[in-house]
Amino acid sequence: MNVKRYFAPTAREALRQLKEELGADAIVLSNRSVEDGVEIVALPADAVELIHQRTQPTPPPPPAPRAPAPVAKPAAPAVERDGEDDDYRVLLSAARRPAPAAAPVQKAAAGIRPFNPPRVDAATGRNLPATPARESRPPAASNPPAQRPARAAGSAAVEPRGLEESARIRALQEANARLMEEMSGIRGMLERQLAGFAWGEAGRQAPARTRMTGELLEAGFSAQLARSLCAAVEADADLIAARATVRTALNRGLRALASDADLIDRGGVYALVGPTGVGKTTTAAKLAARCVVRHGADKLALITTDGYRIGAHEQLRIYGRILGVPVHVVRDASDLRQTLAELKHKHMVLIDTVGMSQRDKMVAEQAAMLLGAGHVKRLLLLNATTRGDTLDDVVRAYDGPDLAGCVLTKVDEAASLAPALDVAVRHEIDVYYVANGQRVPEDLHLPNRAYLLHRALKAVPEDSPYHLDADEAGQLMAAAGAGR
């Protein structure tokens, strides 16, 4: 087998050598990285056909033709019996031999004798013995039996040849699939290396911009928003100016409501939605307490749809008894519409919903129930301690035309507010409140921009295990750029 090996510092050089010697139709068997470069093993294009010819089985020789069957002897003359009136009788030699049960058509045709009329003595009038009839030969057009095994052997030889062809095609397909997989891996590696080279070049041309990008990645911002924020940094800017520019751009994209846009003063019907354990019931109690302080208990009503958790109704009822606010329990969409119609004179109605995973199909059913109940706006509660990609899934699951904004909860437990602000900026969601504890109603505040930006852009200490070196930040950006 004419197997060729090619060594070169790069895969491109090795492929060029291969094509020059074996042509563009050569078959690549494998390629791997060696100490001094890349090794590629290949075969000429005609090697596969040569292997096929060597491995093709030789068809068996056709069997020898059979000897012709012996001619049957003439039938013996029949002995005449006295007193019989059968003047005319035909004696066939085949009638004396029992025919086989499943004789072929050719054998049956060979045993047939032509009709021989009886002879009569003119003087006595008696029947004379019948003359033996000549055996008729089969017509020349009929196929001799000796040719049948040859045809059967030929058809049997076609089947192994077809199986061999299918196996060869499958082997080539598998080899091509492995080759494509390896080429994809090489392509990804080259893209990451080129992106790393570009990152290094960008670091030499705009060091402050690349340093600021690394700080945003450390804080927990996504690579997409980090690129967008750092695009406004000048190439010759220093690190202090770069931080100020990024802070201004982030402040411009953050949609945090001011004190004059407090929901408590505007009123309306709001449903608190979000995953399990995000703090919906506690946040509803905090909003209810703020509303009672400003407008009185008779201007507020509480509704709960949480019929799954044990004691969920009782928790909200306890808050309602403390505040002097009635709590209504609804089961379905029609019940919710009827309850809201009875509470239309209230200044504010807060709906505490059941928590469910963002991947639960009941999220869409819950949104449809609230949307069909009337003028209900949803407030999405986002856990500030959650990863950014998980918050992305939550926003995509709960997004809709009736989503008014979000409430950031568990801010006091989060090491950085970068993931939460990143999601709010990229999805253009209004931030209505910030919750930083369990106390009712003290631990609920309107969003303070300076505080949120400080917590989001807070630098990671150098001794932290989550601190990124310059080359590590470049690798992260290169991987994110290659995966786009």
Q: What is the pLDDT of residue 469?
A: 63
Q: Which pLDDT score, from 0 to 100, does residue 465 have?
A: 73
Helices (H) and strands (E) in the chain, counts: 17, 13
Whether residue 117 is predicted with pLDDT greater than 70 in this model: the reply is no
Q: Which of 28-42, 67-81, 95-109 has the highest mean pLDDT?
A: 28-42
Question: Using CA atoms in the order 251, 256, 257, 259, what is the torsion angle rounded to 10 degrees?
Answer: -80
H-assigned helices in 46-124: 47-55, 93-96, 105-111
Report CA-CA distances (Å) from 440 to 217, 352, 353: 35, 16, 19
Q: How confident is the model at residue 310 (pLDDT cuts 50, 70, 90)?
A: low
Query: What residue ranges do the domains of the chain occupy?
Result: 4-57+156-186, 259-447
Quote the pLDDT of residue 189: 64
Say how far apart CA 289 and CA 283 lie, in whole Å. Answer: 10
**Own/partner pairs, 162-171, CB within 8 angstroms, 24+ separation:** 164/52, 164/55, 164/56, 168/48, 168/52
DSSP assignment of 163-183 equals: HHHHHHHHHHHHHHHHHHHHH
259-447: CATH topology: Rossmann fold (3.40.50)
pLDDT in tens, 46-73: 776 666 566 555 555 555 555 555 554 4
* Average of per-residue pLDDT values in the chain: 75
Strands 327-329 and 444-445: unpaired
Lookup result for tokens 């930006």: 453
* Residues constituting the chain: 484
**Model confidence pLDDT, tens digit, residues 406-444:** 999 999 999 889 999 999 999 999 999 999 888 888 889
Residue type, 225: L
